[in-house]
Amino acid sequence: MSNSTHKVGFVSLGCPKALVDSERILTQLKIDGYDIVPSYEDADVVVVNTCGFIDSAKQESLDAIGEALNENGKVIVTGCMGKDSEEITKIHPGVLAVSGPQAYEEVVGAVHEFVPAPTNHNPLIDLVPPQGVKLTPRHYAYLKISEGCNHSCSFCIIPDLRGKLVSRPIGDVLEEAERLVKAGVRELLVISQDTSAYGVDTKYRTGFWNGRPVKARMQELCETLAEFGIWVRLHYVYPYPHVDNVIPLMAEGKLLPYLDIPFQHGSPSILKAMKRPAAAEKSLERIAAWRAICPDITLRSTFIVGFPGETDDDFEVLLDFLDEAQLDRVGCFQYSPVDGARANDLPNHVPEALKQERWDRFMALQQQISTAKLQAKIGKTIEILIDTVDEEGAVGRSTADAPEIDGKVYLDGVVDLQPGDFVEAVVESADEYDLWAGPGPEPAKPE
């Protein structure tokens, strides 16, 4: 371990919202004069930002805490799993402190307590960049617009972990977005637990940005973010009627034509048992209406198979929904009990083998849909944001692809680019999830 007393190691687990929490903590630690180091042996203390959403995520968090204790010995725990400190200290009694999600001051205070801040730090000389410490590549960043959630989905404990919806003031959101853009960010990924509910808790209170009034509501937020002239991608959007208002912005090229919407199921009875806020038939109508306005819109979603009480008929309804919706990007999870979730008490839990069988059938159907959609892009010219470049070529993403969760676009042999560059290329081939593109003539326009 280093003899310095101002070095912090950091392990960030979980979703993009937790990643933003990590960035806030790291930014404050840098402001306070700490160095952030990439190895256990160089750190004087290690902070582990945990995930507590499902059992596998909890186990990953516990394993990470154990590893940090073994490798370093001084560990501070925060994040969603930290909401139940006894669960952590029972297994790892050696941790120094435990705090829950969004407990930025507590985490920084614990670091100060166990590794006192340097006394010779001059914040006027040792400047932190205006955009703060980011854990994403320089050319894209997550923009968190709210905390918590007002829904009470029976399979979810997010409101218990992160509380009810609390929207950030729109002036703060836009100022952060402006700082990120000035720092070179080319893509903003708007995230929250429920992006379409932004401002509900504040009655859409008007704020100010650059001296002008802006209402804290999804439509006005999107309209203003569109002014930056970069890619703006919306995640975690519930299919409420007012979401229709942002589709014209996508059709006009002001927002990326992309919506990440967690439909979760297609059977009305299962959606009711899940306590989901949207009806499947209304969702299908809304999808058709969106595509009528913006034919190029990409729709991503997640689903759960094997939810308690899911019958063969329910599952067939789900497959019918998937077939009719023709979604572009889909993730599917087998239902897993989460401590504290009300769904655990529902009757008729689905056997594990049947969950696996249904998952296999679901993914096979979606793979067919995805393959057909990507094959239809061959010969078309697409815009690509470059993520990485090496001696073999460049790898980027199209407007249809969010980082980490969607597909990639490979430009083999193209090495004269930099991460963050925008390029246009012609799609030459595709598989189930990814595209290969290269220079070529514009596709012929139909007569």
- What pLDDT, on the 0 to 100 scale, is given for residue 127? 46
CB atoms within 10 A of CB 353: 8
CB atoms within 10 A of CB 340: 13
- What pLDDT, on the 0 to 100 scale, is given for residue 5? 61
Q: Which residues are annotated as a binding site?
A: 15, 51, 80, 149, 153, 156
- Tokens 């859409």, residue located: 204
Please, what's the largest Cα pairwise distance for the chain? Answer: 73
- What pLDDT, on the 0 to 100 scale, is given for residue 147? 87
* Secondary structure (3-state) at 320: helix
- What pLDDT, on the 0 to 100 scale, is given for residue 280? 67
Which of 375, 367, 429, 421 is closest to 395 using CA atoms? 421
Q: Which residues of the chain have pLDDT under 70?
A: 1-5, 119-136, 278, 280, 440-447
DSSP structure class, residue 264? B
* Secondary structure (3-state) at 314: helix
- Tokens 């809304």, residue located: 286
- Tokens 């002014």, residue located: 227
- What pLDDT, on the 0 to 100 scale, is given for residue 310? 95
CB atoms within 10 A of CB 413: 10
- Tokens 């002239």, residue located: 229
**In degrees rounded to 5, what are phi and psi of residue 123?**
-65, -15
d(CA 232, CA 253): 10
- What pLDDT, on the 0 to 100 scale, is given for residue 447? 43
d(CA 47, CA 97): 10
- What pLDDT, on the 0 to 100 scale, is given for residue 213? 94
Residue 144 belongs to what H/E stretch? strand 140-144
- What pLDDT, on the 0 to 100 scale, is given for residue 8? 93
> Who's near 245: CB < 8 A, 6+ residues apart?
218, 219
- What pLDDT, on the 0 to 100 scale, is given for residue 122? 52
CB atoms within 10 A of CB 125: 6
Residues 30, 34, 40, 45, CA torsion sign: negative
Per-residue model confidence as pLDDT tens digits over 213-258: 999 999 999 999 999 999 999 999 988 888 999 999 999 999 999 9
d(CA 161, CA 412): 44
- What pLDDT, on the 0 to 100 scale, is given for residue 6? 86
Residues 210, 215, 218, 220, CA torsion sign: negative
Q: Which residues are annotated as a binding site for [4Fe-4S] cluster?
A: 15, 51, 80, 149, 153, 156
